[in-house]
Every structure is written in C-alpha cells, then in structure tokens.
C-alpha cells in the first residue's frame, strides 16, 4: 500500500498542557512532555538459551531416575499493596454484571493456581532468556491524517496523492453486505471519469448529522461521516455495480475490524458498519485492497473516505524469527510443556488466605476503567532508531522493519490513588473489593522429574532478589497487585527405603512420599551458571547482565519512594500521547 506524496498543512500539537506533573524545564507546552506510563518493557534477548533437552527426550512421567528431582515448593505470598483477583459469578442472570468479590474457594479468599502459574511462567521466560512466542498476533489499524510523526506521511501516501492542484484518492467506494456467513463489498459504478464517488457541499443542517447515509433517486447514496471541526463536504457514492464481481472480505479482516472497533478509546457505535448490516441490506463504505507481509490478499474498509487503515505488518512481523523457532524447546517450554510435544512437569495449586477473614478486605469501591494506550502507540511499543532523541519524522511505526520493545510489565506504586471511595455502577467504572496489603496466602507447587538447573529456574522465578516484587491480578496500572513470594523447597526421597514406591501400605494407611526440606541456593546457583555460560558470560553474574538490570529496575519496590514516583508512572493525557514522545527504558525512569 504506499505510493504517492500527498502533503497537508502541518498542524501543531495542542498548546494546552493538561498534565503539570510531567512538564519539563523550559515551559508548559505539551511538546516538552516526557513520555510516562504505568508500564515498561524488558528488552528482547539477543540470543535464546535453549533447555538441556530436545523435544523427543524431555523427561516424562513413566519412570524416575536418580539425577531427576521431584517434590513440592510451598509458597508463602505476602501482599505489598492491595490485590484484586475477580471471582466467578455465583449466578448467570446478568452477563453484563461483573462480580465485585475477590476470588474464593469455599468462602475463603485465594489466589488461583492459574494466576500463579501465569506469573511464574512469564518471569521464567524472561530470566532464562527464552523465546518470545507468548503473544497475540493481530493486525493493528491507524489513521494518521493529522499525526505529527512519520505516520502522517505513511497514511497520506496510502490514501491519496496530488495531481497538479487536485487530489487523487487511492481508496475505492462500494457497498458492504452480508452474504450468508460472509461479508462482501459490491463496488460502486464508475462514471465517465472512472471514479466511483465525489464530494458535495453540505448545507447547515447536514453538517450537524452524525454518521448516516441517505439513498438518492438515482440509486446513489449521500454519506455523512459525522460532525467534525469545520467540515463542509460529504461523500456521494455512485449506485452499486451489480455487474461487477463482489469482493469477499477475508474473515481475519472482519475480526480485525471488530477488534479495532472495540479498542477505540472514543468510538461512536453508530459507525460500526457490521452492525449496520444487521439492519439494512447494503451499507455504503470505502475500502482498499492490499497484500500483507505474507502476500495474502486483504481488504480494509470504513465508513468515511479517510478511514482507519490496517498496517501491512502484524505484531508477529516485529518479533525476530530466532525468538520464535520451534525446533528445540527453551527452558520454559521444557518445564511447563506445550500443546504439541509434552505435558507440564509442574502443577500449581490455589494459594489460600491465612489470617483474620473478618478484617482482610478493603472497602468495596469503583476505580475508573482506564483507557490505556494500545499497541498502536508505536512510540512506546516499538524500538526507535535514536531512542529518546528520535525525531518525529523518523519514528518507527508498525509498517517499518523494527522489533518490539520486549516483555511488558507494570511499575510498583505505593499509596496510589486508585479508589473512588464509593460504588459507581456505570460503564466508566468497575466494582472491586481488594484484599488489604499485608495479607498472607499459602499455596503449593508440585514438580516432577526436573533437573537441578530447571528447579533453579523455577525457584529464581518465584523468589526474586531483595526489594524486588511481583505483580498479580487486576488494576496493576493503578498500583494494585504487588506481592512478595517466599518458597520453601521439599524433595521426595525416592531411592531410600522410605521411597514413595517401595511399598503400597504403611501400617494401616497408604504409603505416601517422604519429603525432605532442602536449601535451594545450590539449585539457584546452578541455574544462573548455566544461563551465563550459554550467554558467553561465564564469569559474570546473571543479575548484572544488561537485560537483567532492566528487569531489576522494573521490579524494584524501593523506587516507589522516589519523590513524585506515582506521577512518573501514570498515564499521559490524550493530548500528550499525540506528541509521540518515546517511552524511556526502565533504567531511564528516575
């Protein structure tokens, strides 16, 4: 998609500065604002450290050997901030009503084993320098008509060009309709000038209309895309050309359109063309046909001429290929298993609350649902050629060949203002009852046939360095979810006379495994040594490597004591995002 050179009058960013907490020296103009966010990224590793196994010889469960370790890890979890994990609904009467209660087992608060498993696996993938394949690949959309960055030129080149004093549009017009389970576009008739549409001057009453379309006597349609600024013209689309073959829209483009519509911060539901198709036979639309990075035919469409375009590249195109190779397992895959080769060798039980059940919850309240920046905020999610100093016209967007920033994590916050102090039941708020900070949970992780290195990896992922904390549950951007995990290791002694399978009974009871508590430092050391050797840093300390230093910065609880820290890790206002300031690395956030 990318041709032509259509330039518009340059528009400056809004002069009003909405967020004084972030202004730099030198004035309050939004141009001077540094990018801040409640999240940041751990850089992608430059090399994958694979496991000790090939796919076909990972230890299974059919036998045990002396050099494999099995047992359990008791985890004691302390909440450093309030934590909220939503429980399941007790009734299914109202699908729209979300349960405000904390997750519970038999009326006792608990942290689900699935949540602990996800937290642990994600951390293990990072610290073991594994692959990067646990992400949702999707096509993103953009509309850069007035963007101040390089995206503006990208959008204009794809949608129009200048021929002398006139604008040549590169999009087409037609009519969207549903045909069985598929959606298709019937192209509009081309007139003697080989065009399917034209602009017309609206009267004062038409300028106030929201998105709507009106059929004319000749079969054409007037399309009003909605009031905006000093808009003076609407679109007139010629009648449908039923003699031309209809264009079937690929299912992935339909799903991408739905997802993009859901992700819009401010969206008028009336603009959803798929919904319009449910109530009318045909819906006027504009569209372009294109090929993605895999040379597949695609279709992008919208309700107005300058609609939101799909990027040529999906998220997957920005993950280096060596981080996605499937020929050999990394340590995370070898331990946690995958859907194709092997089952998991670890099992996570729920962690139950231990303490006074009558005084463990915060007041039920309604934090505001955040309109957080999505991956379309490319100045945050993609590597930029000159880091923080990258000029706006050189910013990498999703059509450029550049890698993503890495693993997304959230900053810790202390005493953050997340509570509205009351229950507000509307679409802008959610209702939660968090558990208080200082609460204790206890759970169990069972493991089978791990090597010393693999066990060390599991332990390092659980028990972080001093002053480093995990995040779990909902409302992490608001400051909830910080926890500290303390593991206690117990190994099964299979090979002594008290081994698990040496007898069936013990007196009048079933004979069960005998556990021995072990100091886990030796396994941690073996893991760290293994990773450093594979990275070619034999004499280095794992946590002193550059990438792990960024992880330390991200997880460091002591950073919450930095003056103004909660403001430095807050969301920018919408106008400030439009400035396209690059998000600094974790180590650059001071």
SS (H, E, C) 380-431: HHECCCCHHHCCHHHCCCCCCCCCECEEEEECCCCCCCCCCCCCCCCCCECC
DSSP letter at 456? H
Residues 92 and 61 in one domain: yes
Return the sign of the alpha-carbon dihedral for residues 87, 75, 415, 40: negative
> Helix, strand, or coil here: 35?
coil
Is residue 62, in this structure, part of any structural domain at all?
A: yes
Instruction: Judge whether 387 lies within some domain.
Output: no
Task: Round to whole Å and give the CA distance between 29 and 576.
Answer: 10
Residues 285 and 330 in one domain: no
Q: What is the pLDDT of residues 57-102, one digit of tens each?
A: 999 876 666 789 999 999 999 999 999 999 876 554 455 556 788 9
Reported for 207-214, long-range contacts at CB under 8 A and 24+ positions apart, including other chains, are: 207/231, 207/232, 210/268, 210/270, 211/268, 211/270, 211/271, 211/303, 211/304, 212/270, 213/283, 213/284
Indicate the average pLDDT of the chain.
Answer: 86
Q: Which residue has the tokens 């046939």?
A: 449
With bands split at pLDDT 50, 70 and 90, how would you rate the model's confidence at 353? very high
When pLDDT is cut at 50, 70 and 90, the band that residue 269 belongs to is low
pLDDT above 60 (res 296)? yes
Q: What is the pLDDT of residues 117-145, one digit of tens each?
A: 999 999 999 999 999 988 888 888 898 88
The DSSP line for 88-139 is PPS--S-TTPPP-SBPEETTEEEE-HHHHHHHHHHHHHHHTT-----S----
pLDDT in tens, 429-472: 888 999 999 999 999 999 999 999 999 999 999 999 999 999 99
Considering the domain architecture, whether residues 501 and 364 belong to the same structural domain is answered as yes
68's CB contacts (< 8 A; 6+ apart) are: 59, 449, 450, 451
Among 276, 306, 336, identify where a domain stops: 306
Q: Cβ(309)–Cβ(298) under 8 Å?
A: no
> In the prediction, which pLDDT does 470 show?
98
Tell me how far apart the alpha carbons of residues 301 and 250 are, in angstroms, rounded to a whole number. Answer: 12
Percentage of the chain surpassing pLDDT 90?
61
Same structural domain, 124 and 240: no
- Count of structural domains within the chain: 2
Q: Measured on CA atoms in the order 498, 502, 505, 509, is the torsion positive or negative?
A: positive
Residues 298, 333: one domain? no
The tens digit of pLDDT for each residue in 17-48 reads: 223 333 333 334 445 567 899 999 999 999 99
**Residue 114 included in any domain:** yes
**pLDDT, greater one: 442 or 207:** 442
Range of the domain at 70: 48-136+324-380+413-542
How far is Cα 326 from Cα 174, in angstroms, rounded to an integer?
A: 43
To 10 degrees, the CA torsion angle through 255, 258, 263, 265?
Answer: 160
SS3 content of the chain, % helix, strand, coil (to 5): 25, 25, 50
Between CA 51 and CA 60, with CA 56 as vertex, the angle to 5 degrees is 85
pLDDT in tens, 492-502: 876 554 445 55
Q: What is the pLDDT of residue 225?
A: 87
Q: What per-residue confidence (pLDDT) applies to 17? A: 26
**Domain end residue (candidates: 257, 278, 306):** 306
Beta bridge mates, 490: 72, 517
Structural domain contains residue 206: yes
Identify whether residues 371 and 260 lie together within a single domain.
Answer: no
Tokens of 159: 């949608």
Tokens of 92: 């299914």
- Residue 427 has a pLDDT of 72
Residue 272 reports pLDDT greater than 60: yes
The pLDDT, as a whole number, for residue 450 is 95
Whole-number Å distance between alpha carbons of 314 and 318: 7
Percentage of residues in the chain with pLDDT exceeding 70?
86
Domain check: are 181 and 54 in the same one?
no
Mean pLDDT for the stretch of residues 372-382: 84
At 267, the pLDDT band (50, 70, 90 cuts) reads: low
Is 366 part of any domain? yes
pLDDT digits (tens, 9 = 90+) for 413-422: 998 888 777 7
Q: Is a pLDDT exceeding 90 seen at residue 426?
A: no
pLDDT of residue 15: 32
> Span 329-344, mean pLDDT?
94
Identify which of 402, 482, 542, 489 has the alpha carbon closest to the alpha carbon of residue 81: 482
Span of 144-153, 237-246, 442-451, 470-479 with lowest mean pLDDT: 144-153
Residue 144 lies in a domain: no
Within-domain flag for 178:
yes
Q: Which long-range contacts (CB under 8 A, 24 or more apart) does 461-467 make?
A: 461/120, 461/121, 461/123, 461/124, 461/127, 462/73, 462/75, 462/120, 462/123, 462/487, 463/487, 463/520, 464/123, 464/555, 465/543, 465/552, 467/556, 467/557, 467/558
Mean pLDDT of 376-401: 94
pLDDT the model gives residue 89: 62
- Return the pLDDT at 352: 97
Give 273's contacts (C-beta < 8 A, 6+ positions apart): 176, 257, 283, 285, 301, 302, 303
Q: Would you state the structure tokens that stand for residue 327, as one six-digit string?
A: 């020929």
Q: Within 10 Å of residue 519's Cβ, how many Cβ atoms?
A: 8
Predicted confidence at residue 271, as pLDDT, reads 84
Whether the per-residue pLDDT at 11 is higher than 80: the answer is no
Final residue before a domain boundary, out of 499, 524, 542:
542
Whether residues 103 and 243 share a domain: the answer is no
Please tell me whether residues 204 and 286 are part of one structural domain.
yes
Q: Return the number of other C-beta atoms located less than 10 Å from residue 551's C-beta.
A: 23
The reply to whether 363 and 450 lie within a common domain is yes
Residue found under tokens 């599991």? 458
Residue 479 has pLDDT above 80, yes or no: yes
Q: HSE, CB side, 13 Å, CA atoms: give it for residue 334.
A: 27
pLDDT at residue 511, rounded to an integer: 52
Residues 202 and 212: their CA atoms lie apart, in Å, by 13
Q: Report how far residue 31's alpha carbon sits from residue 22's, in angstroms, rounded to the nearest whole number.
A: 11
185, 175 in Cβ contact below 8 A?
Answer: yes
Please tell me which residue, 168 or 241, carries the higher pLDDT value: 241
pLDDT value of position 430: 85
Q: Is residue 388 part of a domain?
A: no
Whether 505 and 420 map to the same domain: the answer is yes
285 and 370 fall within a common domain = no
**For residues 2 and 154, is the Cβ–Cβ distance under 8 A?**
yes
């Amino acid at each position: 998609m990318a041709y032509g050179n259509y330039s518009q009058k340059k528009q400056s960013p809004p002069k009003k500065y909405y967020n004084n907490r972030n202004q730099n020296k030198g004035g309050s103009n939004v141009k001077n604002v540094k990018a801040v966010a409640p999240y940041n990224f751990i850089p992608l590793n430059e090399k994958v450290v694979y496991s000790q196994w090939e796919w076909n010889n990972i230890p299974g469960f059919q036998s045990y050997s002396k050099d494999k370790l099995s047992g359990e890890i008791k985890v004691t979890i302390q909440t450093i901030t309030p934590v909220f994990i939503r429980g399941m609904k007790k009734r299914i009467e109202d699908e729209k009503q979300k349960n405000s209660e904390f997750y519970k087992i038999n009326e006792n608060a608990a942290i689900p084993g699935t949540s602990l498993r996800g937290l642990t696996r994600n951390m293990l993938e990072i610290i073991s320098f594994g692959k990067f394949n646990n992400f949702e690949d999707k096509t993103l959309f953009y509309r850069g008509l007035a963007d101040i960055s390089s995206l503006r030129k990208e959008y204009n080149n794809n949608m129009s060009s200048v021929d002398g004093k006139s604008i040549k549009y590169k999009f087409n017009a037609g009519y969207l309709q549903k045909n069985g389970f598929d959606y298709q576009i019937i192209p509009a008739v081309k007139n003697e000038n080989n065009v399917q549409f034209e602009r017309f001057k609206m009267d004062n009453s038409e300028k106030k209309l929201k998105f709507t379309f009106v059929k004319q006597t000749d079969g054409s349609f007037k399309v009003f895309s909605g009031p905006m600024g000093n808009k003076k013209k609407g679109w007139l689309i010629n009648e449908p050309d039923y003699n031309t073959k209809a264009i079937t829209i690929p299912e992935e483009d339909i799903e991408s359109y739905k997802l993009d519509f859901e992700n819009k911060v401010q969206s008028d539901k009336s603009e959803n063309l798929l919904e319009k198709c449910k109530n009318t036979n045909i819906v006027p639309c504009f569209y372009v046909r294109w090929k993605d990075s895999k040379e597949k035919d695609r279709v992008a469409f919208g309700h107005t001429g300058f609609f939101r375009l799909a990027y040529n590249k999906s998220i997957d195109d920005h993950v280096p290929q060596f981080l996605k190779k499937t020929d050999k397992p990394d340590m995370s895959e070898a331990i946690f298993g995958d859907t194709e080769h092997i089952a998991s060798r670890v099992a996570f039980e729920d962690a139950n609350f231990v303490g006074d059940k009558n005084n463990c919850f915060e007041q039920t309240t309604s934090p505001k649902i955040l309109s957080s920046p999505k991956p379309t905020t490319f100045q945050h999610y993609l590597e930029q050629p000159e880091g923080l100093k990258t000029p706006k016209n050189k910013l990498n967007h999703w059509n450029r060949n550049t890698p993503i920033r890495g693993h997304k994590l959230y900053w810790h916050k202390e005493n953050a203002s997340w509570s509205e102090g009351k229950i507000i039941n509307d679409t802008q708020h959610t209702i939660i009852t968090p558990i208080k900070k200082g609460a204790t949970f206890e759970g169990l992780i069972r493991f089978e046939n791990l090597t010393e290195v693999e066990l060390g990896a599991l332990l390092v992922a659980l028990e972080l360095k001093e002053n480093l904390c995990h995040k779990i549950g909902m409302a992490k951007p608001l400051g909830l979810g910080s926890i500290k995990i303390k593991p206690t290791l117990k190994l099964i002694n299979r090979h002594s006379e008290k081994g698990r399978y040496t007898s069936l009974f013990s007196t009048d009871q079933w004979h069960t495994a005998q556990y021995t508590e072990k100091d886990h430092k030796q396994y941690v050391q073996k893991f760290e040594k293994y990773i450093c050797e594979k990275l070619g840093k034999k004499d280095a300390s794992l946590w002193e490597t550059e990438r792990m230093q960024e992880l330390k910065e991200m997880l460091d609880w002591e950073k919450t004591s930095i003056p103004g820290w909660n403001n430095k890790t807050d969301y920018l206002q919408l106008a400030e995002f439009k400035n396209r300031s690059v998000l600094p690395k974790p180590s650059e956030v001071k």
